[in-house]
Structure 1
Amino acid sequence: MNTGNTCTWKPASAKAGVIPPRAEGAKARQWAAAPKDGFHVLRHTYASIVLEAGESVVTLARWLGHSSPAITLGYYAHFMPEAGSKGRGTIDGLLGKGGVSAR
């Protein structure tokens, strides 16, 4: 059982009205709320915001405790729509196609 999720996160979410309260007589781990309403959604939101802000995947992987940045990319690559734009702009500048100028 994930104690932080079932004993802290979900009760606080229920008290705030975000998820329905646990049914009368239900065990601590028995919540009607879907798994997507658990603590993991907060972690996913954090990672998404950090990547959209431009933090490196390598750094985020370390912060999240992933064993490899490849794992992080597998979950969060879709939050990196601008990935590659710096490199493309630099090459365009070198080739005289506008964009970022070469230094």
Structure 2
Amino acid sequence: MAVNTWNTYTWKPALAKAGVIPPRAEGAKQWQWEAAPRDGFHVLRHTYASVMLEAGESVVTLARWLGHSSPAVTLGYYAHFMPEAGSRGRTVMDGLLGRRGRPGGG
């Protein structure tokens, strides 16, 4: 089934029934929804990717899961969801340098 078909005839009716988006306007064709594109099924994919990156999942792994041609594509869409990028590396280096700087060795 094509994603647009599923989005129009299954996903958006389910959202409307749940009260997430407004119901189809009276007299509208079955494929006519006032819901914005952000209400489409693709938002679930975007949410999943965002949550995975915020949880620290590897960009390389996520790119593979999403079917992107490279991690650069994934970063182009989702880098803003990685506010802690680099903090783990800094923490490790601080720990290593802190141990080495202590009197008595390490």
Distance 1:83 1:97, change over 3 A: farther
The residue aligned with 2:47 is 45
**In proportion to residue count, which structure has more helix?**
2
For 1:79-98, what aligned pairs fall within 5 Å after superposition? 79-96=81-98
* Alignment length (residue pairs): 99
Superposed CA RMSD in Å reads 2.1
TM-score normalised to structure 1 length? 0.84
Question: What residue identity is the alignment partner of 2:70?
Answer: S
Matched residues in 2 for 1:66 and 1:22: separation? 34
Larger radius of gyration: 2
CA distance in 2, matches of 1:79, 1:97: 32
**What is the aligned partner in structure 2 of residue 23 from structure 1?**
25
Q: Which one-letter code corresponds to 2:42 in the other structure?
A: H
- The normalised TM-score by structure 2 is 0.81
Unaligned runs of 5+ in 1: none
